[in-house]
Amino acid sequence: MKEILLLKLGELVLKGLNRGNFEKRLMKNLAWRIRNFGEFKIYCMQSTIYVDPQSEDCDMDAALDAASRVFGIVNISRAAEVEKDIDKIISVSKEYLRDTLSNAKTFKVEAKRSDKSFPKKSPEICFEVGSALHDEFENIEVDVKNPEVLVKVEIRDRAAYVHANPIPGAGGLPVGINGRAAILLSGGIDSPVAAYMMAKRGVELFGIHFFSYPYTSERAKEKVIELARLVGKYAGNIKIAMVPFTKIQEEIRANCKEEYFTLIMRRFMMQIAERVARENNCGALITGESLGQVASQTMEALGVTENGISLPVLRPVIGMDKEEIVGIARRINTFETSILPYEDCCTVFTPKHPRTKPKLENILEEEKKLPFDALCCEAIENIEII
């Protein structure tokens, strides 16, 4: 019996003239994710992507797991491929779904006849397959409203497919169709979630992390790399620009008023990030800022920190509370890494009484005490790409 993966497209089906390009990008992303699990033929027909194993040693479990994290897919089914003959469909349904139906109490059959030349219509397919399964498995009863097992029979152009209870896909849009953006990864809970959310909208990610050795440890850097790896299970490969930030923070501490430390630091970050982003073909910056969560994330503070840059700043978690952000972090498996006790540079030299409603003219006056451009250039020249 041949088994295949059926991946149903999400909002891509609503696209117009560019849909073909989006589907190609999705199949390219998918092929990259499952490349280590065997030889597969991947093709798209009728709003469905087929992942067809070309040898018996293909790891279908691993391919299914990887495909479930590829953006652009709304649900996935492991399906038995069968000849378009009702008797063979019934026979394969009994065999392929035996374990699933033997441990269930209720079921329902749904049929989709894309191939209109098939002699039986969808209601007839449902009746015949459902009756045969009901007779075969004495433990199950029909429940059309809330079945424990939803059996699906699809009559498509090349063959018929039998499967049950599809698993959810990652949804969203294929990574790469909406350009590239630079995510400022801090090592906390919020920025990996922001990265995930923008990747889900089809954005390819380039990471930027600011570290302040020896005030922050190598373990803090390793933590950020691990977070990028975890997000990368959804977003694909992520390069990270590691920006040395120690000298800048020490200069701020030595020359500027304490109440402005964080704001000036973040202005440095944004302007360095913009230069790095442009050098790496990024069309926007992404941050994990949530309005009002900390002193530097008030409306006034956000306005000050992004003043002086021209790239758009995407803030996907700006209107979310901490509980919502944590919920997503747990779901994508970044939370436990984010809470490891290795401090990032944002916690270094934190003022006791930071300004929550700063005025730009005051910040600019403080920055005159610093060789701003020289410090930015020096940091950029010493970036390490991981």
| % of residues, the chain, pLDDT over 70 | 98
Confidence of residue 347 (pLDDT cuts 50, 70, 90): low
* pLDDT at 271 exceeding the cut of 80: yes
| Residues 26, 12 contacting (CB under 8 angstroms) | yes
Q: What does the DSSP 8-state code read for residue 187?
A: S
156-183 pLDDT per residue, tens: 999 999 999 999 999 999 999 999 999 9
- Report the alpha-carbon distance of residue 154 to residue 283 in Å, rounded: 42
- Report the alpha-carbon distance of residue 89 to residue 341 in Å, rounded: 56
Helix (H) / strand (E) element for 170: namely strand 167-171
* pLDDT at 382 exceeding the cut of 80: yes
Residue 18: predicted pLDDT? 81
Computed over every residue of the chain, the mean pLDDT equals 93
Residue range 208-212: mean pLDDT, rounded: 94
Say which amino acid occupies 307.
N
- Residue 136, helix vs strand vs coil: helix
* pLDDT at 293 exceeding the cut of 90: no
Contacts of 104 (CB under 8 A, 6+ apart): 139, 140, 148, 149
- Residue 346, helix vs strand vs coil: helix
115-142 pLDDT per residue, tens: 999 999 999 999 999 999 999 999 999 9
Query: Between residues 175 and 217, which one has the greater pLDDT?
Result: 175
How do strand 40-45 and strand 48-53 relate by DSSP bridges?
antiparallel
Q: What does the DSSP 8-state code read for residue 296?
A: G
State phi, psi for 361 to the nearest 5 degrees.
-60, -35
Query: Between residues 333 and 45, which one has the greater pLDDT?
Result: 333
Residue 292: predicted pLDDT? 86
- Residue 206, helix vs strand vs coil: strand
Residue 348: predicted pLDDT? 67
Residue range 13-32: mean pLDDT, rounded: 89
Residue range 358-365: mean pLDDT, rounded: 92
Confidence of residue 327 (pLDDT cuts 50, 70, 90): very high
* pLDDT at 297 exceeding the cut of 90: no
* pLDDT at 100 exceeding the cut of 90: yes
Confidence of residue 68 (pLDDT cuts 50, 70, 90): very high
Residue 88: predicted pLDDT? 97
* pLDDT at 345 exceeding the cut of 70: no
- Report the alpha-carbon distance of residue 152 to residue 141 in Å, rounded: 16
Residue 125: predicted pLDDT? 97
Residue 354: predicted pLDDT? 78
Residue range 13-40: mean pLDDT, rounded: 91
Residue 153: predicted pLDDT? 97
- Report the alpha-carbon distance of residue 316 to residue 99 in Å, rounded: 43
Residue range 326-333: mean pLDDT, rounded: 97
Residue 16: predicted pLDDT? 76
How do strand 73-82 and strand 167-171 relate by DSSP bridges?
antiparallel
- Report the alpha-carbon distance of residue 64 to residue 67 in Å, rounded: 5
Residue 350: predicted pLDDT? 74
Residue 342: predicted pLDDT? 75
Residue range 213-242: mean pLDDT, rounded: 93
332-344 pLDDT per residue, tens: 999 999 999 877 7
* pLDDT at 14 exceeding the cut of 80: no
Q: How many CB atoms lie within 10 A of CB 217?
A: 13
* pLDDT at 361 exceeding the cut of 90: yes
Q: What does the DSSP 8-state code read for residue 159?
A: -
Residue range 310-339: mean pLDDT, rounded: 96
Residue 278: predicted pLDDT? 97
User: Dihedral of CA 326/331/332/333: which sign?
Assistant: positive
Residue range 321-339: mean pLDDT, rounded: 96
Residue 3: predicted pLDDT? 96
Residue range 253-278: mean pLDDT, rounded: 94
